[in-house]
Structure 1
Amino acid sequence: MVPPVEGGDAALLPEFPRGPLDAYRARASFSWKELALFTEGEDMLRFKKTIFSALEKDPLFARSPGADLSLEKYRELNFLRCKRIFEYDFLSVEDMFKSPLKVPALIQCLGMYDSSLAVKYLLHSLVFGSAVYSSGSERHLTYIPKIFSMEIFGCFALTELSHGSNTKAIRTTAQYDPATKEFIIHSPDFEAAKFWVGNMGKTATHAVVFAKLHVPGDQCHGLHPFIVQIRDPKTLLPMPGVMVGDMGKKLGQNGLDNGFAMFHKVRVPRQSLLNRMGDVTPEGTYVSPFKDVRQRFGVSLGGLSSGRVSILSLAVVNLKLAMAIALRFSATRRQFGPTEEEEIAVLEYPMQQCRLLPYLAAAYALDHFSKSLFLDLVEFQRGLASGDRSARQAELGREIHALASASKPLASWTAQQGIQECREACGGHGYLAMNRLGVLRDDNDPNCTYEGDNNVLLQQTSNYLLGLLAPRVQDGACFRSPLKSVDFLDAYPSILDQKFEVSSVADCLDSAVALAAYKWLVCYLLRETYQKLNQEKRSGSSDFEARNNCQVSHGRPLALAFLELTVVQRFHEHVHQPCVPPSLRAVLGRLSALYALWSLSRHAALLYRGEASDCGLTDRSS
């Protein structure tokens, strides 16, 4: 069980030990404790304190400086640590629904300790567990206590060797046999092997396997998830018909065992189908509560978002760690000065501030966004669990899918660029292994790839936006979405007619200014992408070719700008609430403005091109 937090409020946020950072802390215009309470909340701070206190006292989590563990030893230790986390019972099944923010909080705490541990834990409890809970029905609830007791250990098997992001081309099949009332899970060849599956290499006993569902009469009803036992929980030997193996050493996250599996006519009970979206009767008839295929697809998309939303939290924690290391080093490292006898901290140099402080603002903005998007995901999963089959629920799934598909690229790329900047900003000392920057960079790197390659995922978001614009152009439909992320597009024509003029830097220090510019930019990019798409089609390109030809210069920046706008919007609203303590309003307002302006500045060429084209200074057909 979780050990109690010792002491009173002083133990929650103790004073920092005396040291070289005292001078900077004394100059602060706000209370760091007040900021921590506002951004985290007292309950969450206590929860994190409980976790860290337990890890600090547990010998299993003690580090051996300079000890390079073998791959097998590292994975064994990581599994034991994961098991211990469940034994501490930091997060119960009830907590996941009563206090959902404890989930990303726990993931971030574990990520601060070791990214491999955080990923191993979340793949089992959140990705595998969430798939069973949200995609299954009452008959699958018996798996939930087994997941949290680690009686079984799970993984999420979607990607195949030859098909990753293109889920429609996945070739693993699930053929229903009415004579035995079983599904036959089969991999037609090695290219259809499930690949890169986290936890599958050594430790998973069960997998949520996505396969194309076939019923008698050779009718295929598309991709559906099945619970398949792949190993004996006692011996960890493969089950009959299952060939399972380990991917080997990777560039990072080597405490996580990524693996592959092939299925040779593996029979599983009919009840193994996670049947929230569709089911098969004992006689072999396919039934679904969703008559509208598009509605069913929207709900299934939202169900696949938990992994991407979790990666958002992991990327944020990597950026937080790197920023803490680089900023503290920059405040203590002295170099050059006004006289030969007087050197100043490198943090005083505008160049160092320009390199680091925007990433600090990004850490705050993305952290808030990750929490809010996780709550949106929980709302969606609650709807699934309650049997909500409304059009709103399906649209919520599509919107979360679009936001998650772009937020993973934005967060993982921002973290990767920020960690590298931190490494360089620390000079030669930044290259030492002991400072963790190299490990953070390597462990963050897969965030850019798994759960969908970043550039491919951005197409999901741009396609979502283009899909909203088409009905508007054709019949004047309104822009409305459950989370209101696209509602501003209702003013699409008038936003494009706006011009922005600021007379001083001070005018820009309100994130509302950058927010208005972002709305114009998204509207402009949406219009240009839509026009380019139609131009390609008129020239004879197929739909596939047209979308492909639009992606580099149009769809990709559209998706990124839309997600950045959403992050800026949510953080702006968060830091301008009436409940913000007066002493924090200035610093939070500056953080919001800094992130918004820094992000917007990377679109300067597009802003200029858009203004020029609207003034008739460029060839609009180009």
Structure 2
Amino acid sequence: MIPAKTFNANGATSHAELLSDLPSGPLCAYRRKASFNWKDMVMFLDDEDIIVFKKKIFSTLENDPLFSRLPGQEMPLEKYRELTFLRCKRIFEYDFLTFEATMQKPEKLLVLINCLGMYDWSLADKFFLNTQVFAGAVGNAGSERHETFLKQTKSMEIFGCFALTELSHGSNTKAIRTTATFDASTKEFLINSPDFEAAKFWVGNMGKNATHAVVYAQLYTSDGQCHGLHSFVVQIRDPKTLLPMPGVMVGDIGNKLGLNGVDNGFAMFYNVRIPHENLLNRNGDVTSGGSYTSIYKDPKQRLGASLGTLSSGRVSIIGMVVVNLKLAVSIAIRFSATRRQFGPTEKEEIPVLEYQLQQWRLIPYLAAAYALDYFSKSFFINLIELQIGILMKDRSPRQAELGKEIHALSCAGKPLASWTAQHGAQECREACGGHGFLAMNRLGDIRNDNDPNCTYEGDNNVLLQQTSNYLLSLVHSIHEGNTPCESPLGSIEFLNDFKTILKSKFTARTVQECLDCRVILAAYKWLVCYLLNDSYHKLQQEKQKASDEFYARNNSQVYYCRTLAIAFIEHTVLQRYCDYTHDSSVPVSLQPVLKKLCSLYGLWSLSKHIAVLYQGGYLAGELPGKIIQDAVLQLCAELKDDAVSLVDAIAPPDFILNAPIARADGELYKNLWSAVLQGQKVLERPSWWAEFCTNKPVIGQLKSQL
């Protein structure tokens, strides 16, 4: 876990060197009321070298004409794809992150992707899919013989994609039907799609310009025996012409709801021959004589290892969706602080941020952005620890438990973060009224570009079952009490007190007591234990009624296992953020606002489980429910004056944020009016003006044209 940093409270020199003053304007009214200096918050949230790194990326993009954009500009699909590729190519040329820098500070990789995503997620995804997903799959699943592919990817001699999902199968990876059959006579694999339902589908970068793909297929040796899912590097296009390779049918799946700068595609293979060496052989290999070998005797373990890259993808997505939440909240809060409507008298209009309803709609999402941001950063460090262990061939019990825990947390962390960003973006859009519906203010793009994160790398609801299965596997140890739950990351340690926790009750009797993080965490611990116990008993009942375990588990999801997984990850996020914000090294000037954010996130999340808390007897009477609601509203009101400065600490520069209603100067109407007038052909009469002016009826016009 990332500890709270030691901090120079004065920090004047660093402020001046690293952070420019924000422009003066209407937002200054709120900035003057803030309880802290926004620059202090920036310096606390990130190390100096991360701040410098972000600044370098942002300023480079702003100063390069290739990245310029006009307000509300719409481009044809083909043009957008071309421009996204050209920008991606330029990012390669800038080489923001060297291999050495990545090794010294791996989190810079996530920072780079997220900075590009703040500008445009199509660009970030295109770059990420090639450099990390494709190259990462080759590096993690391959060996020394595959280093050429990595070098070619880095130099952009080839452009990669990751082809797992098929037209008829996605979540059920074991049912993938593409085959790779070893031909012992030629020492080659034949990659084949048995029918169109086995076509690789939804593959990012494949639609127009990927030259190579990591293809997942069922490996068959020449004796006809299937050895399960393995990955292969398959060339799908000629890098010199971008024409398909012989035996490959490859194309684009068309327009999507968002991320249209990325060309998602499909491919079918008709006995395409690839060299034996193109099998990514870390988990399994075929000898030149045709015999299969693997370090894993258990096929299930081998499959898990083969799909290991998906866990890192989910961890990365958590950080990506937090970026979307930050962008949406930044736009909505700056807008709300400058948009004046109504007031106590007819002559006095007040900012809509002063209204309780607007605070209740937006400020909890601001708190969520801070809490989930810390979870994302600390969880990424946990992932790096796991990956180092894999590279060092650590086969200790702790390493095994660490892998299980990270898998469970990532399978719930992605749903929690992506759903929070999804709901937050929509709430922010609505909170900005009609101006939020204007495309140039970007909230629609943020919402739409975030949406696929609820599906990619595993459908959210399906993924939650992985987390609940992990928790249910601990029940026997919990009931016996003899073997403590192993938890390298500490997320399940409290379950060792399972029986004691279930006997506890909510103790707070005032709003002030309710603000204590320990009270909120105690409620969450009870909630997880109660839901775990309830889910276990529900599963046992269904097993007695159902003919097999499949239907028993299927019938135990809604209100039980699914809710359990959500409560567990919310507790984990809150526990980490509570430890972080209450650390003694947190600057005195930042402690009050950070603690309020922590309490608000906890109470706001907990309030969604009020029914279960009453149902299980943890809460009793009217008082607990009322004081939880009152505490949420009180915290929103107390954080209202800090909201703009909290946004200033996480918002990117105006060029990157790219929302006229949310520029740092707060000149809402001047900026919006200027952006509207800069739009294409806004003052021109329509090209079809003659059709309006003619007296002929439409039917008559059609007949004359025919």
TM-score interval, smaller chain: over 0.9
Moved more, 69-78 or 181-190: 181-190
Asked if the contact 1:238/1:244 (under 8 Å) is kept, the reply is: yes
Give me the whole-angstrom Cα distance separating, in 2, the residues matched to 1:505 and 1:284. Answer: 71
Unaligned runs of 5+ in 1: 1-6, 616-622
Give me the whole-angstrom Cα distance separating, in 1, the residues matched to 2:399 and 2:241. Answer: 42
Match status 1:548 vs 2:557: no
Alignment of 1:175-186 (within 5 A): 175-186=181-192
Asked if the contact 1:108/1:313 (under 8 Å) is kept, the reply is: yes
Q: Deviations over 1:97-146 (max 9, x none)?
A: 22111111111111111111111111111111211111112222232222
Look up the match of 2:260: 254
Give me the whole-angstrom Cα distance separating, in 2, the residues matched to 1:164 and 1:603. Answer: 31
Give, in angstroms, the shift of residue 472 of structure 1.
4.5
Give, in angstroms, the shift of residue 512 of structure 1.
2.3
Give me the whole-angstrom Cα distance separating, in 1, the residues matched to 2:42 and 2:481. Answer: 49
Q: Deviations over 1:48-93 (max 9, x none)?
A: 0000010010010000334321101100000110111111111122
Look up the match of 1:272: 278
Alignment length, in residue pairs? 609
The structure-2 alpha-carbon separation of the partners of 1:544 and 1:116, relative to structure 1 and needing over 3 Å to count, comes to same
The structure-2 alpha-carbon separation of the partners of 1:208 and 1:468, relative to structure 1 and needing over 3 Å to count, comes to farther
Give me the whole-angstrom Cα distance separating, in 1, the residues matched to 2:606 and 2:481. Answer: 32
Alignment of 1:323-402 (within 5 A): 323-402=329-408
Look up the match of 1:190: 196
Alignment of 1:414-563 (within 5 A): 414-473=420-479, 476-563=482-569
Asked if the contact 1:130/1:306 (under 8 Å) is kept, the reply is: no
**Counterpart of 1:308 in structure 2: which amino acid?**
R
Alignment of 1:77-88 (within 5 A): 77-88=83-94
Alignment of 1:37-436 (within 5 A): 37-293=43-299, 295-436=301-442
Give me the whole-angstrom Cα distance separating, in 2, the residues matched to 1:469 and 1:549. Answer: 19
Asked if the contact 1:184/1:267 (under 8 Å) is kept, the reply is: yes
**Counterpart of 1:169 in structure 2: which amino acid?**
A
Q: Secondary structure at the match of 1:446?
A: helix
Give, in angstroms, the shift of residue 476 of structure 1.
4.3
Give, in angstroms, the shift of residue 285 of structure 1.
2.1
Q: Secondary structure at the match of 1:322?
A: helix
Give me the whole-angstrom Cα distance separating, in 2, the residues matched to 1:171 and 1:581. Answer: 56
The structure-2 alpha-carbon separation of the partners of 1:324 and 1:394, relative to structure 1 and needing over 3 Å to count, comes to same
Give me the whole-angstrom Cα distance separating, in 2, the residues matched to 1:407 and 1:334. Answer: 37
Look up the match of 1:4: none
Give, in angstroms, the shift of residue 416 of structure 1.
0.9
Which structure's relative contact order is higher, taking Cα pairs within 8 Å and 6+ residues apart?
A: 2
Give, in angstroms, the shift of residue 468 of structure 1.
2.6
Give me the whole-angstrom Cα distance separating, in 1, the residues matched to 2:337 and 2:315. Answer: 33
The structure-2 alpha-carbon separation of the partners of 1:613 and 1:585, relative to structure 1 and needing over 3 Å to count, comes to closer
Q: Secondary structure at the match of 1:91?
A: coil
The structure-2 alpha-carbon separation of the partners of 1:383 and 1:177, relative to structure 1 and needing over 3 Å to count, comes to farther
Asked if the contact 1:178/1:282 (under 8 Å) is kept, the reply is: yes
Give, in angstroms, the shift of residue 220 of structure 1.
1.9
**Counterpart of 2:163 in structure 1: which amino acid?**
A
Asked if the contact 1:311/1:408 (under 8 Å) is kept, the reply is: yes
Give me the whole-angstrom Cα distance separating, in 2, the residues matched to 1:121 and 1:282. Answer: 36
Moved more, 46-55 or 106-115: 106-115
Asked if the contact 1:301/1:401 (under 8 Å) is kept, the reply is: no
The structure-2 alpha-carbon separation of the partners of 1:244 and 1:189, relative to structure 1 and needing over 3 Å to count, comes to same
Give, in angstroms, the shift of residue 456 of structure 1.
1.2
Asked if the contact 1:298/1:395 (under 8 Å) is kept, the reply is: no
Give, in angstroms, the shift of residue 202 of structure 1.
0.6
Look up the match of 1:3: none
Q: Secondary structure at the match of 1:583?
A: coil
Asked if the contact 2:401/2:486 (under 8 Å) is kept, the reply is: no
The structure-2 alpha-carbon separation of the partners of 1:393 and 1:150, relative to structure 1 and needing over 3 Å to count, comes to farther
Identical residues among aligned pairs (%): 65
Give me the whole-angstrom Cα distance separating, in 2, the residues matched to 1:133 and 1:59. Answer: 34
Asked if the contact 1:131/1:303 (under 8 Å) is kept, the reply is: yes
Look up the match of 2:41: 35
Moved more, 293-302 or 224-233: 293-302
Q: Secondary structure at the match of 2:458?
A: coil
The structure-2 alpha-carbon separation of the partners of 1:69 and 1:521, relative to structure 1 and needing over 3 Å to count, comes to same
Q: Secondary structure at the match of 2:590?
A: helix
The structure-2 alpha-carbon separation of the partners of 1:612 and 1:38, relative to structure 1 and needing over 3 Å to count, comes to closer
Look up the match of 2:609: 603
**CA-atom RMSD in angstroms:** 1.9
Match status 1:21 vs 2:35: no
Give me the whole-angstrom Cα distance separating, in 2, the residues matched to 1:294 and 1:339. Answer: 70
Asked if the contact 1:212/1:221 (under 8 Å) is kept, the reply is: yes
The structure-2 alpha-carbon separation of the partners of 1:296 and 1:391, relative to structure 1 and needing over 3 Å to count, comes to farther
The structure-2 alpha-carbon separation of the partners of 1:56 and 1:509, relative to structure 1 and needing over 3 Å to count, comes to same
Give, in angstroms, the shift of residue 150 of structure 1.
1.4
Q: Secondary structure at the match of 1:197?
A: strand
Q: Secondary structure at the match of 1:141?
A: helix
Give me the whole-angstrom Cα distance separating, in 2, the residues matched to 1:397 and 1:186. Answer: 33
**Counterpart of 1:110 in structure 2: which amino acid?**
L
The structure-2 alpha-carbon separation of the partners of 1:612 and 1:64, relative to structure 1 and needing over 3 Å to count, comes to closer
Give, in angstroms, the shift of residue 308 of structure 1.
1.6
Q: Deviations over 1:378-399 (max 9, x none)?
A: 2222222233344433433332
**Counterpart of 1:355 in structure 2: which amino acid?**
R
Moved more, 605-614 or 203-212: 605-614
Q: Secondary structure at the match of 1:577?
A: coil
TM-score (norm 1): 0.94
Give, in angstroms, the shift of residue 33 of structure 1.
0.6
Q: Deviations over 1:283-328 (max 9, x none)?
A: 2222222345554455445432122222212211111111111000
The structure-2 alpha-carbon separation of the partners of 1:213 and 1:71, relative to structure 1 and needing over 3 Å to count, comes to same
Give, in angstroms, the shift of residue 508 of structure 1.
2.1
Moved more, 218-227 or 295-304: 295-304
Moved more, 9-18 or 297-306: 297-306
Give me the whole-angstrom Cα distance separating, in 1, the residues matched to 2:503 and 2:308. Answer: 35
Asked if the contact 1:299/1:397 (under 8 Å) is kept, the reply is: no
Give me the whole-angstrom Cα distance separating, in 1, the residues matched to 2:180 and 2:394. Answer: 27
Give me the whole-angstrom Cα distance separating, in 2, the residues matched to 1:482 and 1:614. Answer: 35
Q: Secondary structure at the match of 2:109?
A: helix
Asked if the contact 2:213/2:236 (under 8 Å) is kept, the reply is: yes
Unaligned runs of 5+ in 2: 1-12, 622-706
Give me the whole-angstrom Cα distance separating, in 2, the residues matched to 1:356 and 1:469. Answer: 38
Asked if the contact 2:231/2:306 (under 8 Å) is kept, the reply is: no
Moved more, 56-65 or 274-283: 274-283
Asked if the contact 1:409/1:454 (under 8 Å) is kept, the reply is: yes
**Counterpart of 2:225 in structure 1: which amino acid?**
Q
Look up the match of 1:619: none
